[in-house]
Every structure is written in C-alpha cells, then in structure tokens.
Amino acid sequence: MSAVTIAESSLLGVVGSSLRVPLVTGREQRYVNLDYAASAPALSVVAEHVTELLPLYASVHRGAGYASQVSTSVYENARAIVGEFVNARENDVVVFTRNTTDALGLLASAVPGETVLLDIEHHANLLPWQRGASRIVLSGDTVAETLERLDAELASRPAALVTVTGASNVTGETLPLRAIATIAHRRGARLAVDGAQLVPHRRVDLQRDGIDYLAFSGHKIYAPFGAGVLVGRKDWLDVAPPLLQGGGAVAEVTLHGATWHPAPARHEAGSPNVVGVAALARAVSEIGRLDAEKWAAHDRALRHRLITGLEALPGVHPHRIFSDSTDAVGVVSFSIDGTDARLVAAFLSAEHGIGVRDGRFCAHPLLAKLGIDGPALRASFGVGSTDADVDALLGALTLFLANGPVWRYELVDGQWVPLDDARPRPDWAPALDTTAVRFGCAA
C-alpha cells in the first residue's frame, strides 16, 4: 500500500473519533484531535475493558473478598503483560507509577553514581537529574556528532547511567538506542530511556535495543487513566529509598522504623491505581497485536503528508534537531513568521474544531537551542488519526495565512481567547477563568 493511501483510515478505534464540537461561529464540526503527544485518547477496547472492570473494582492485595481477589489478579497480571510488551529480561521488574515523570523521578533516586544526559530532553528527563550528580552533553548538528560527544564524555569520566529520550516530544525525531546502549555499556554505564513519545509509535524491545530502564505513560499510549510504568533492572530499585512511604511497601513496622519490601512493592505504597494499571495493560496488549511495519508506515505517511503540506505554506517552518536523523514519530512542531502561535492555536480550535498544542512543550532548553523565541505550534497524531485530520489542519492554516481569523480575539494573561464566546458546554464542565488555570510549560 502506498504512502499516499496507507493513512486514509485509522489503525485502531479510539474514544471520541466521532465527537462533534461547537464553533464560535455557531456551526458544529467534527473534532480533529492533533494533540496526541500531550494525552492520547483512550482506545475503544480500553474504555470497554474499564467499564467491564468497574463492578469488580476493589482494593488489591490481602483482600479476602471475591472482587478484591479479581482486582489483585488484574493488577499483578498487568506486570507480565507490560513486561512482555517491551520484551523485558527475566529478572527485570515492572513498577507502576503515575506517569513517565514519576517513573524517572523514582529512577533518579536509585542511581548509585553520576548520570549523563543530553540537552534535548523533556523536563521529565532533565529536572530529576538536577537534584543529584549529573553531566549534560550538548547535542551536535547531527546524530553522529552527538553520539561522538556522548562517547567522549563517558570516556573522560565514568558514569553509572546514561538517560536519553527515545523520541523528541518537540520534533518527533528518534535516537538510535541500540548504538547509544553500546556506547554506554562499553563505558560501564547503564541506559535509561524516556519512552513517553516513542512507545506509542514504535515497537520497543529492551533486550534487542540494550535498554536497562524504560519509562512511559499510560495516558500517551491510549490509556488515560493515570498510570505509568518503570521497567528495568531490579538491583538498584531493591535498595533505593521507597518512592512513597506507606502501607504495601513495608514488610514490618515498629514505632521507630520499618523493614521495606524489595521492588516492585517497595515503590508502590498506598492503594494503587488498579483501573489505570488495567487500562495500561489492555492498551499495550492491543498495540502489541499491531503489525509493526504497518504501524510505522501509517505514522510515517501522516508525518510526510503534514510536513510536505507545511513546507508548501508561506512563512511556515517545521522544526528539527538533527540534519541526519532518519526516523521520526508522529510529532511535528512548527512556527509561522510574524505570528503568535497562541493566536493560531486559539483560531484553529474556535473556528475549525482542531486541537493542537502551543507553547514550549516542557522542553525549554531545546526550544532555546533551536532558536525558537517564544511559543511554537505542535501537531501530533497516532493510531486513531487519518489523512483527513492532516488535511483539515493544512486547510485551516491556509485560510489563516490568507485572511487571518474571522472572529475577534483578545490576549488575556498570555492566552488568546475569542470574544463573546457562547459555545455551549456540558453543565458538569462549566467554563473556568482560564487565566487562573493556564500554567506549566506553555509560557
């Protein structure tokens, strides 16, 4: 099947694929979700699985009741499902967390030595290492040069861990993980991978690629129910300080101390997110059945269609890190000359029912490195996306460049908002003062 037609239909069904949203003009439009990189929609089968599980939901571990026993089985079996999905080693451990950020924070507390990372990381794989002993390698203009710099840094002084992004959340470009693993292992270091953007787009194999630790989030792999995971070698995690201190993580407690379980229980104190873990396991089971080549081809076809279309528009510039990168996932960031990205995002949403991301994408140092002054735009897609979604974005951008917005907008505390916005909302989701809730990495 050609790249022209391979993305005419979605690969898997997702919740919300037929959603229609109101526009400020009074019309209604099919919602075009091009914000998968932030949080992907739930797979339809995941939502069905959660609905089936909820009547049997109960607290896991030590419960004698039937529902508790079923929930415990679902929770613990999920470890095997996730481990198989990433081809974990026999002695690897699967620790359930809240998300990738949580998982990398846990790993940062467990590393018995220095960590080396690149300057292109998402904040989740940058900030945890600033608290300990770490060194940053400045990436080069090419992947090849970057690997040379990484090798030279490790040769200059040993490190316990190298940690890198699997795929950039800004440009979608992937790194050659097997080559990086070879460099790290030759220099006596382990390799950790922030898989938040890679795992939803490519098959990741810990054994094939030489990955020692992998972190990823359920909400980015079509299971937006609040669970994440850290998979990897057990020894460091067995002796690391517990991620949380509480019930479930302890073997014995006195008034003045505690004896802690080894991993994974050591880092899963409190009542765990059974529903989130069940959703994550069901999502990776479904994703794991996809043909790897068809999956990647669908992703590449959409990306090619989008970048080709963007480059044909006057003053529109897609961003990239490396001149020699050969693979990238469904994440594309771009800027428009002389245009505030925040206004474009508001226009796309209010007048065309298209959801994209605007801001600095929790990767401030990378955007500064790319010379992006201020916020940019990001379109991202996945297994529920089609050519029609990409074409809708390109068509709306064409109209914006030719005529500007039809509606009037005002800038309120850093956010463009449509004036006299009368779009109806569900009564259980009333409009908020957006100036009070817009925070984080957007600015």
DSSP 328: B
**Of 128, 102, 111, 127, nearest to 196 (Cα)?**
102
Tokens 């990409």 sit on residue:
390
Active site residue 362: yes
Does residue 162 sit in helix, strand or coil? Answer: strand
- What is 351-401 written as a DSSP string? HH-EE-EEE-TT-HHHHHHTT--S-EEEEE--TT--HHHHHHHHHHHHHHH
DSSP 406: S
Q: CA gyration radius for the chain?
A: 22
Which residue pairs from 145-152 have beta carbons closer than 8 angstroms and sit at least 24 positions apart in sequence? Answer: 146/118, 146/322, 147/176, 147/179, 147/180, 147/183, 150/116, 150/118, 150/180, 150/183, 151/183, 151/187
Interatomic CA distance for residues 50 and 197, integer angstroms: 24
Angle at 66 between CA 63 and CA 68, to 5 degrees: 40
**Of 223, 227, 232, 244, nearest to 204 (Cα)?**
232
116 φψ region: left (φ > 0), alpha (ψ -120 to 50), beta (else): beta
Q: Are 11 and 295 in contact (CB under 8 A)?
A: yes
- Residue 93: φ, ψ to 5°: -120, 145
**Of 275, 268, 228, nearest to 248 (Cα)?**
268
Q: At 32, which helix (H) or strand (E)? A: strand 32-33
Query: CA 409 → CA 191, 349, 418, 419, 421, distances in Å?
Result: 47, 12, 4, 5, 10
User: Which residue is catalytic, options 12, 362, 376, 377?
Assistant: 362
Active site residues: 362
